[in-house]
Structure 1
């Protein structure tokens, strides 16, 4: 088979998962045909059409831009099976019923193209049994592909081959899921519920068992098993509600049906009993978030929790004891020791669920996964854990923890009496101090350490996610350091492209960062082909560091801030007119000054999940780092490209985005708001961001890139200000905005329209930035803006006054 090219995908099944898989495909630019049953009346594809329309209403949004729902083609099995021949990939995502899936396969198989890959999005059904009904020629092109819900946001995709699946099919699909869809791919064995759901649901059942034994309430358990434990903030019971209690029950039944005596002979089988509380909730129609009630129920503005003893909902909000908070902040070895030795019920509970997880993955590793790597990444990417179970075990001290777990097993305190496997105590793992090493991760089935997959797609990830014990070097300690100050590191990987990494909390732009970026530009111009601004986490920059400016403000007031603001603006223009291309590699938050930094670069490379906007209104200020100047200039450029149009028509959207502090919730939406341009690059996989940004610098340099010429451009003037203010008056008088909001928005209008000048007057960027500084510094003196600033610094939440 030649290189796997996916020009169009068919998704079979327009239910919750099928429709959202289709949505994510169009997010990354892949054309999709979404199939479902024929409607009994009206348009034959009405079921798929309704599902597509519903995508625009869901939260969190499955689409990067709601309007892109129209890019999904609706189809039905009665009229449109011929479309399958033109699809390179077919993903089946109908309900988790083996008989329904087999019937559908027999219906569609004659219409599948000769080279088309077919994959089933099942959460745990046997891939081998599904393949058995397919024509023999199709079986080598069939496997499982398990997305996690919601598909846009959950990183994990499990690939499950059959004995017949061709290696090149798996490699092509793994490459597509990684590079195009932005997923973390784990290959799983064809066992019930695969890896993540097998380990995750067993862990949830163990948590329910231990919580019941110790009499802990659901809200307390969620506080204990959420962020405090390095897991998803939703904890255990809230996660179950989000997933759907009926879905959870189905996954449990898969364990029950396939792992009992004479089947899987799983020693943990007795722990797979469906909890009575779960059965009762499902019988009552309380299926979790989708039905409005589950383990939790929203009553007015309050979230109440279920009291299993009475079946009633009561006030929630229970929190871990301070002792537990202190223990959970300790290093791993000390933390586990303190939990195990404590008589506190909450500590005993936490030790029990951690012990159960270590016990479970060790016993099942050989059966469910090629190596411990797949288990840990599956739990990270599929269940939001900061560390997988093997990682935590290894970090806490492999043999010591193993002895504690084995002692509990022998004392009858564990979920089952199956001993830990011999490889835990003897041989390479014990000698290495754990399952993850620089040479690879332990394969219990093969009795050796397996290296990381070497598919070419992974060469695009300069710093892929690493596991405890692998010895991976932290990105900001890698490469060749060229310059460093207290909050910025300038370095290079290849000696040709310089990288500037802001290295402080939330990558806030302080005077120190400003100085560092200026130095990086100078170094890049002198010795490199260009500069990439990149940091290795989910924050590009959350804005200006107001707290760092407080001593200056307290000493000299707004007059003392004005020179610092001028330095920031000068930095933006220095970047825009640099002698080499400067590329912003954006990921996660790019807010306020971070957004301004990005828009002044020659090019932006943005991860799909980037959240971009000018948010200064939230702290009672206006954008003061050139953001409003950018809006005015871009409006003039767009008007010039459309002769005969009104400049104000191009200005209104940018004004509104700044005045309303609108934040794009994807890179796709950021492009619509104007913070990304048409030639900017949106990247699906966050770990490819640096690779592509460096490539953009090289491409611009190879194309003899030159900075744009400084030029005058027209502004809307006082008539534009008057037009905008007329609409603001209505909003103020109608109670939609406060008087202070009105004042701030009026100042924004004053800047983007160019101040008190005639419409069409030509101005410079320096002129508009001077207006920005004037209003920014004036607002710093305003009591209501000061209230907003202090409120944000003290609570992290905006004050509306």
Structure 2
């Protein structure tokens, strides 16, 4: 397969989706031209300019750093169509109107580069009908590409070919979307609403139907269908509000318009009827979150829910019954059996929506997707489900659940009377106990188990996300184990690079982890090219394990903690000055001690969604594992690169980030805060982290890696400390920080400025770490800090005192 290089992308349409797709492209450093209609007043590209400016206001933020908005080039169809010739990929993302899209294709066709891939971002329109407006020469390079909103955060991208789409084109686009954009690709068939919205919206309609049937309020339903059920925390009705009730109605109408109502068409057609309450809300202009009211309405700080019987908003906050919460914690087989047999309306409701989901997915599998894996991935990545419908069905016992579904269909309790497909009971699926096997996932259309894609891009994913039943290897049981203790596994995949994986909850750094990491460095120096610190989930490390230190604290007080804190600091210096490179492969949160572990590594490889910061102030402490020493040293290094500059100017940002517990809300922002360096690597796809990190260790070794020399460096001293303290006094006296926050920030300032020494005095890392240790232990003995620690350990939330 020829390599497809995307030098520039054109996004056609500067609406909500188009602008956010452009934002994600610049997040991953792909140049973008954002097109829209020429403005009637002001600059001709005013519509695109306004959309770009609006990106900084959106929450959640579509940009990794707000200033990257300037890297999106605004354009309009009247003046700039020639720019299309420079673009290797053109993504059309205008409104969901077939006639508008077709007219635009006719307008741009003559300006496209002869090799460019053209893709329509649509949530459900026929891709084949759209391709009819393109010249025959372009149709082999045309397909559908469906991003989920918001594009930066949602993992799913559906690719939809037409009969004319070349297989190589689809492979090239899947490779780009996977590696460069960091997305999970599902290949969908060209059927209404494709895979995720077809199954997901049908599921939402089923929830609305069953909720009405069992008389449950919207807030109770959302509590039942949120995290407790292994789905997105927003549940069902809140999700509809966030998506927009008009948008949901549009997707429903696509089902109504394209799936017919006679017996030869979709047997679930009757369930696609627009719920009366949804129609009424739209008629009133209550479209959900964007209009301030929908199924919910926020009044002050209170969230009200709609009472459809009264036609007014009432107090919300309804929750699942305690007995249901207990049932939902049971293993899958027991859970479904208890829900089905219970007389509790909430249990009956939950069984009904799960049954409806299983039934719907099975009936439509052959029509909408190549295999069951695509359906389960689509629901995970597009709708935030922990498991897709086939995975849960299989885990709970395939044939038993199938029989329950059949019994409900026969009794008229299901959404429709369509029988389960014959393959559910009679094929290799029944023999294997489900649709997912180590050999592949069931294709109802082909009548066999289809293996995963073998595109070269997936070879970069050592442990890709997989479905239950696929027999995927457990990363923490894979490779060759070299060393293990209770909270750390040290292992290797290739015998050349060592991997250290923290196995403790939230990958908290305890004395056991510290001991294990020291052993890992020692082993790496003895026999390997280097060490990668990596764990296979969305937490790099949430910081130090304060709870593990409590027995020592209770017995010896704060002074007993000092030796343990010294061990942690020694670990950080051991990593920094190791004879082989230590690379931190980060994703998710890297907070407190996790941040300190990363900044002392030779290099950091971070997924785009990596949130890094020193957050100890939240528990009444200051960073004590070398984080403040790092800030002081980095400020000195930057000042040395700008002769004649004031050291304090380079110190202020780092001090402020630590004192305010600022966390980078992306890898890009973490780099801006100084926790990642320009030389560090940001990876778009989380499952490529380990591959890239191992490659970076080998590259550093091949280039003759040497640890940095230990050196003295200057600090700001008492004059810098006085300047920082003056600003802190203003914040305290103005009521912006508490007295205890002022006290902690003053101690942080003392460490990063080097204490009571002259400005420009040369110090060592050991000297600053001793200051950190002294103040850390003193704060640990402070009653206000103890209140914060106990509050965090008991509630998980910071105490403001």
Distance, in Å, in 1 between the alignment partners of 2:448 and 2:126 is 27
Superposed, which structure 2 residues align to 1:555-566 within 5 Å?
555-566=555-566
For 1:387, the equivalent position in structure 2 comes to 387
Q: Secondary structure at the match of 2:294?
A: coil
Superposed, which structure 2 residues align to 1:3-402 within 5 Å?
3-261=3-261, 265-402=265-402
Deviation, 1:269, is: 0.1
For 2:439, the equivalent position in structure 1 comes to 439
Distance, in Å, in 2 between the alignment partners of 1:754 and 1:704 is 34
Conserved in 2, the CA contact under 8 Å of 1:258 and 1:264? no
Distance, in Å, in 2 between the alignment partners of 1:49 and 1:13 is 12
Deviation, 1:261, is: 3.1
Report how many aligned residue pairs link the two structures. Answer: 801
Distance, in Å, in 2 between the alignment partners of 1:335 and 1:457 is 38
For 1:697, the equivalent position in structure 2 comes to 697
Conserved in 2, the CA contact under 8 Å of 1:10 and 1:32? yes
Distance, in Å, in 1 between the alignment partners of 2:326 and 2:550 is 32
Distance, in Å, in 2 between the alignment partners of 1:682 and 1:287 is 38
Deviation, 1:529, is: 0.5
Q: Secondary structure at the match of 2:235?
A: coil
Distance, in Å, in 2 between the alignment partners of 1:458 and 1:311 is 52
Distance, in Å, in 1 between the alignment partners of 2:291 and 2:87 is 36
Whether 1:423 and 2:423 are equivalent positions in the alignment is: yes
Distance, in Å, in 1 between the alignment partners of 2:389 and 2:427 is 20
Deviation, 1:448, is: 0.5
1:8-44 per-position Cα deviation (integer Å, ceiling 9, x unaligned) = 0000000000000000000000000000111101000
Q: Secondary structure at the match of 1:484?
A: strand
Deviation, 1:264, is: 7.0
Distance, in Å, in 2 between the alignment partners of 1:427 and 1:721 is 75
For 1:625, the equivalent position in structure 2 comes to 625
Distance, in Å, in 2 between the alignment partners of 1:445 and 1:189 is 11
Distance, in Å, in 2 between the alignment partners of 1:473 and 1:151 is 30
Q: Secondary structure at the match of 2:525?
A: helix
Deviation, 1:2, is: 3.2
1:373-413 per-position Cα deviation (integer Å, ceiling 9, x unaligned) = 10000000000000000000000000000000001001000
Distance, in Å, in 2 between the alignment partners of 1:288 and 1:21 is 23
Deviation, 1:744, is: 0.6
1:518-553 per-position Cα deviation (integer Å, ceiling 9, x unaligned) = 000001011110000000000000000001101100
Distance, in Å, in 2 between the alignment partners of 1:41 and 1:320 is 54
Deviation, 1:583, is: 0.1
Deviation, 1:260, is: 1.0
1:430-466 per-position Cα deviation (integer Å, ceiling 9, x unaligned) = 1111000000000000001100000000000000011
For 2:490, the equivalent position in structure 1 comes to 490
Distance, in Å, in 1 between the alignment partners of 2:512 and 2:740 is 32
For 1:764, the equivalent position in structure 2 comes to 764
For 1:616, the equivalent position in structure 2 comes to 616
Superposed, which structure 2 residues align to 1:449-460 within 5 Å?
449-460=449-460
Whether 1:587 and 2:594 are equivalent positions in the alignment is: no
For 1:577, the equivalent position in structure 2 comes to 577
1:242-281 per-position Cα deviation (integer Å, ceiling 9, x unaligned) = 1110000000000000001369710000000000000011
1:578-632 per-position Cα deviation (integer Å, ceiling 9, x unaligned) = 0110000000000000000000000000000000000000001000000000000
Distance, in Å, in 1 between the alignment partners of 2:797 and 2:470 is 39
Distance, in Å, in 2 between the alignment partners of 1:680 and 1:655 is 22
Q: Secondary structure at the match of 1:313?
A: strand
Q: Secondary structure at the match of 1:10?
A: strand
Distance, in Å, in 2 between the alignment partners of 1:24 and 1:472 is 30
For 1:773, the equivalent position in structure 2 comes to 773
Conserved in 1, the CA contact under 8 Å of 2:261 and 2:270? no
CA separation of 1:264 and 1:728: change in aligned 2, threshold 3 A: farther
Conserved in 2, the CA contact under 8 Å of 1:35 and 1:74? yes
Distance, in Å, in 1 between the alignment partners of 2:284 and 2:476 is 53
Conserved in 1, the CA contact under 8 Å of 2:629 and 2:765? yes
Distance, in Å, in 2 between the alignment partners of 1:305 and 1:179 is 42
Unaligned runs of 5+ in 1: none
For 1:740, the equivalent position in structure 2 comes to 740
1:66-116 per-position Cα deviation (integer Å, ceiling 9, x unaligned) = 000000000001111110010000000001011111111111111111001
For 1:465, the equivalent position in structure 2 comes to 465
Whether 1:525 and 2:525 are equivalent positions in the alignment is: yes
Calculate the aligned-residue CA RMSD, in Å: 0.7
Deviation, 1:472, is: 1.0
Distance, in Å, in 2 between the alignment partners of 1:412 and 1:252 is 24
For 1:668, the equivalent position in structure 2 comes to 668
1:622-657 per-position Cα deviation (integer Å, ceiling 9, x unaligned) = 000000000000000000011110100000000000
Q: Secondary structure at the match of 2:30?
A: coil
Distance, in Å, in 2 between the alignment partners of 1:705 and 1:789 is 41
Distance, in Å, in 2 between the alignment partners of 1:760 and 1:476 is 48
1:270-309 per-position Cα deviation (integer Å, ceiling 9, x unaligned) = 0000000000111111111111111111111011111111
Conserved in 2, the CA contact under 8 Å of 1:713 and 1:762? yes
Distance, in Å, in 1 between the alignment partners of 2:635 and 2:429 is 62
Conserved in 1, the CA contact under 8 Å of 2:328 and 2:335? yes
For 1:789, the equivalent position in structure 2 comes to 789
Whether 1:638 and 2:652 are equivalent positions in the alignment is: no
Distance, in Å, in 2 between the alignment partners of 1:442 and 1:180 is 29
Distance, in Å, in 2 between the alignment partners of 1:72 and 1:688 is 27
Conserved in 1, the CA contact under 8 Å of 2:21 and 2:151? yes
Q: Secondary structure at the match of 1:744?
A: helix
Distance, in Å, in 2 between the alignment partners of 1:716 and 1:536 is 41
Whether 1:647 and 2:647 are equivalent positions in the alignment is: yes
1:334-373 per-position Cα deviation (integer Å, ceiling 9, x unaligned) = 1111111111100000000000000001000000000001
